[in-house]
Amino acid sequence: MEEVAQNKTDSAYSSKSDSRLYPTEPKDIPQSTRQTRQPPIAPSYDPPAREPSATSNYSNPQLVETYNRDSRSLLRNATEVSETQNSISDRSLGRSTSVTLENKSRGMYAVVPERDTIYLVPSNSIRITDSNLTTVEALFECRRYQKGYSERFNLSRPAIVIPLSSGQWQLRERGILEF
C-alpha cells in the first residue's frame, strides 16, 4: 500500500540525470509542499510621543507668540465675533453647554484661520470683568484671575472653533488665558 502511494507521488515528478525529482507541472505539486514567496515586510515606524504643552497639538506656537507680543498685527485680518444671544440664553438656562459665535463688528473675540485649524482669540476690544467672566470662561480657562477688573492677560493657548453651515462657529476646544 505504501508502495502504491509512493508511485502516485513519483508519477507527478520526472527524474533528471542528477537523480533529484522535479515536478512536471505546477498543478501536479501537492498543496502541502507548495511555498509561496511573500514580499519582505518593511518595519513599521511609530514616531515618538510628544509631551503636551500649552502650545503643542492645540495651537500654533508662533500664533501665541505673535498675539502676546503684538495682537493688533495678528488681528488685522481676523473676523471679529461674539457669542450669539441664543447660545448665551441656552447656557444660562442649562439647556446647552455648547457655545456658538457669530460675526459681529467690535466683537469680543476674533476668529483666526491657520492652515487646517480655526483659532479663537480675545479681540483687542475685550475687557474682562466680573460681569462677562462667565462668558469668557465658557471659551477660555482663566488661570489666576482675581475678582475685579482684569485687563492684563497672556494667551497660553487659543480656543479652537469649527465652522457651522449657518456662517457661525462652534467651540470645539477651550483655550487658556493666564492673568
Distances (CA, A) of 156 to 62, 93, 109, 153: 11, 30, 15, 9
pLDDT at 177: 97
Amino acid at 123: S
Confidence of residue 31 (pLDDT cuts 50, 70, 90): low
pLDDT at 35: 56
* Burial bucket for residue 26 (CB in 10 Å: 0-12, 13-18, 19+): exposed
SS (H, E, C) the chain: CHHHHHHHHHHCEEECCCCCEEECCHHHCCHHHCCCCCCCCCCCCCCCCCCCCCCCCCCCHHHHHHHHHHHHHHHCCCEEEEECHHHHHHHHCCCCCCCEEEECCCCCEEEEEECCEEEEEECCCCCECCCCHHHHHHHEEEECCCCCCECCCEEEECEEEEECCCCCEEEEECEEEEC
Confidence of residue 131 (pLDDT cuts 50, 70, 90): confident
Is the pLDDT at 123 greater than 70? The verdict is yes
101, 80 in Cβ contact below 8 A? Answer: no
Q: How does residue 146 score in pLDDT terms, banded at 50, 70 and 90?
A: confident
Which of 41-45, 136-140, 145-149 shows the highest mean pLDDT? 136-140
For the chain, what percent of residues have pLDDT higher than 90?
54
Mean pLDDT of 123-147: 92
The residue with greater pLDDT, 125 or 164, is 164
**139 forms bridges with which residues in the sheet?**
none
At residue 112, the pLDDT reads 97
> Which of 51-55, 96-100, 125-129, 173-177 has the highest average model confidence (pLDDT)?
173-177
